[in-house]
Chains A and B, each alone.
Chain A
Amino acid sequence: MNTTIPTTELFWVILVCYVFFVLGAGLFFARNNKSTEDFFFGGRRFSWWLIAMSMLATGVGSHSFAKYASKGFEYGFSSTMTYMNDWFFMPLLLFGWIPIIYYMQVNSIPEYFQRRFNSTVRNLSTFTMLLYLVGYIGIGLLALGSLLQPILGWEINTIIIVVAVISGIYVSLGGQTAIIFTDFLQGVILLFAGLLIFGLGIAYVGGFDSFWGNLSIANKLPLADFNSPPDFNFAGIFWQDGVVGSVGFAFMNQAVIMRFLAARSVVHARRATMMNVLVFLPIGTVAVSNSGWIGRAIVNFDSGLTGMYHSAGSSIFTRWGTHFSSTIPETTDPNGIFTVVAGIVSGSEAIFAFLVAAVVAALMSSLDSQINASAAVAVNDIYTPLSKNPSEKTRLRVSMFTSLLVTFIGIQAAFLFSKYGTIYEAHGAFHSVVTPPMVTVIFLGIFWKRFSSRAAVLTFVIGAIFIMLGIEYPKTFVQPFSHGIEFVEAKPWSYIRALYNVVACASIGIIVTLFTKPPKDYDRIKGLTIWTIKDGPQYFKGSDVNKNAGLTIQFAGSEVEVTQEDNNEVSLPKNYMDQIKGNKGDLIYISDHRWYLGGLKSTHARLGSVSNNNKVIISKDVSDHAQFNLSKDLIIELEV
């Protein structure tokens, strides 16, 4: 059942102003994009806290508000379970994958496959990656449409097109810097809005005791029932979302990888990831799910299941001059529950407008990230290898055009998903099928030196055949992995098939590798596997590592002299050179000392010869890129 929530002009003024403010702020920060590195990676210069908040907005933004609130509404606290199991993979992510992609300057997963294996694996992974990203864009657009539909009352396809056009134009203009800054703003506001609706909801149902009392024991358990019902069971979701989905998101989602690469160093990327998972995600999961829990408490009360009191009292009351239902029918479309609950508990149109605007903006930020990431893959892995030495200007123009193109394809994907059923199921089925071959090849590629190019190709090709066989003959192939989950003809084992797909792909990869002659040496893959990662910092620097890396000095901006050269160098007076213990050619990070800028006014450069006029001499390109305010202090940090 769909409910249309009445709104006045005030609602629309607040919504439009908010979205313009957040998106405008992003474009303001992105006005200095000069190259595709700026466009896609923000110049690799941002601090951990900015990256962490941005990752939160990207992670919980798009489909999460529709997806997890809907499951919170149907099943209660177990909607949080997939947010709370990412930590299992952290050792491998923080000390395996992040150093590999950062030090080896891997700009995309397909590029990693080219260097780790060969061009065939790269092409196969480019196809899979684009499929994955466009699918993500489609899910994001569908989620946004579902959340706005209760307010707009339009056809969902119309909403999808309008939102896609705005997002596509925005990303094509702003790029990664715009996304990181809008994501940061939205991350903060998202948490605030999520906690605000929780507070308002608890007040609405008559306090925490009433909220607690209106939920059943099953509603309050943190994990789902082991193997039932078929559309939400623990075993299936553990493998599909908790394992394949978590690995897919952290290791192969181009948008997340671009966040790691936008960090100012490996340590900052690690800190951002750790804080995101341990500090921000637990709040994030409450923020995205709680409207569903509040909705469930109201439904339980209305259906007389618990008999506890909630403060609305009657089922019809006057809201903003219009008669409006304060109850939630059991048949309410779970995908739009956030908007329905916000409409009931907010108490004023201004607060309701703010809540909806915060979610719309967060949804758009996630969508923006995926569109930008798709463009990065298309430019770096298709356009650049095919064209002969394209100029930076051409690449940037192609990046903008590609952003619009992938948005258009994403719209088609959203139309397709809208026919599948709930967003949760559509996303689950999509993840189960598309992600396993890629996840398997990445994992074996990173953690097994001997894993060969031939095995990688066959994992993709034969893996895809086995996945198709699993779809066609589920009772033969998937049933042995089913954990006793009931077979449903229309959507057979849509979650647990992820386990079958991973086992099939991994078995192929392992068997083929064992039957392939191992290489004589591993020089070609130095720095590209965890067993050769110790070579990474040297590759990144291009010469021997300076053991004193991490030392920092601070000095006044008035000591800086900018030259007209474009050699990306900074020369220091002898006393500073001694303090920092640097050598000519060392990599440095130079930044405005104000931490709250998050690295916006900073850049990377190399140390030049000792300056002979007691000044800090900065080349023009370094100065242009960092946009220093020379009335403020600067800091220089020695890298690797």
Chain B
Amino acid sequence: MDFFTHSWLPLMYQYGFGLLIFGGGLFTIFRAYGGSEFWTKHKIWMQVLVWGFIYIFSIHLLMTLSSLNNAPKMYLLIIALYILNVGILVRNIK
């Protein structure tokens, strides 16, 4: 059975539009707060924002691969990613 419309198509659609919304948002705040001044003051926040996007995309990607390839062990990777995420946030956002 072909699962393209149930797996890769919605994933591409979600992260295609998601990237537009997210990228547009980043660009807007970067401009509104004065460009380089914003980067200097809020560099860590910008990094966390980008990390958050990659993190959530990775979870969806791994879940899709896990289902299509009948590979439940990929959930160990998702758990590891989650723990890494908690570590990154707790350590960097004070």
Contacts and interface: CB of A to CB of B under 8 A. Distances in A.
B10 interface: yes
Size category of the B interface is: 35 or more
A212 B63 contact: no
Nearest to A84: B56
Interface in B1-29: 1, 3, 5-7, 9-11, 13-14, 17-18, 21-22, 25-26, 28-29
A533 interface: yes
B6 A221 contact: yes
Contact of B32 (A234, A270, A531): A531
A223 B55 contact: no
A217 B48 contact: no
A35 interface: no
B5 A227 contact: yes
Q: Which one of A89, A278, A533 has the greatest number of beta carbons of chain B within 10 Å?
A: A278
B80 interface: no
A234 B13 CA distance: 9
B85 A278 contact: yes
Contact of B93 (A222, A224, A226, A274): A274
Given A89-B21, A208-B72, A238-B13, A274 B67 contact: no
A95 B33 contact: yes
B49 A90 contact: yes
A85 B53 CA distance: 9
Given A92-B25, A92-B28, A212-B72, A223 B7 contact: yes
A242 B85 CA distance: 22
Nearest to A238: B14
B26 A91 contact: yes
Contact of B34 (A87, A221, A534): A534
A639 to B, nearest CB: 16
B53 A87 contact: yes
Contacts of A234: 10, 13-14
B89 interface: yes
B3 A218 contact: yes
A81 B42 CA distance: 30
Contacts of B67: 77, 217, 220-222
B10 A533 contact: no
A279 interface: yes
Nearest to B54: A87
B52 A92 contact: no
A550 to B, nearest CB: 11
Contact of B59 (A84, A217, A531): A84
Interface string B41-73: 010010011001101100110011011101010
Interface string A499-532: 0000000000000000000000000000000110
B6 A91 contact: no
Contacts of B60: 84, 222-223
Given A87-B22, A223-B11, A225-B6, A238 B45 contact: no
Given A91-B22, A91-B29, A221 B7 contact: yes
A474 interface: no
Contacts of B82: 282
Contacts of A89: 21-22, 25
Given A223-B60, A274-B93, A238 B17 contact: yes
B28 A447 contact: yes
A304 B26 CA distance: 50
A61 to B, nearest CB: 22
A28 B34 CA distance: 46
A77 B75 CA distance: 13
Contacts of A208: 72
Interface of B: 1, 3, 5-7, 9-11, 13-14, 17-18, 21-22, 25-26, 28-29, 32-34, 42, 45, 48-49, 52-53, 55-56, 59-60, 63-64, 66-68, 70, 72, 82, 85-86, 89, 93
24 contacts: A77-B67, A84-B56, A87-B18, A87-B22, A87-B52, A91-B26, A91-B29, A96-B28, A217-B68, A218-B6, A220-B63, A222-B60, A224-B10, A243-B21, A270-B45, A274-B89, A274-B93, A278-B52, A278-B56, A278-B85, A447-B28, A530-B29, A530-B32, A533-B32
Interface of A: 77, 81, 84-85, 87-92, 94-96, 208-209, 212, 217-218, 220-227, 234-235, 238, 242-243, 270-271, 274-275, 277-279, 282, 447, 530-531, 533-534
4 residue pairs, one from A and one from B, having the closest CB atoms: A91-B25, A220-B67, A222-B63, A223-B10
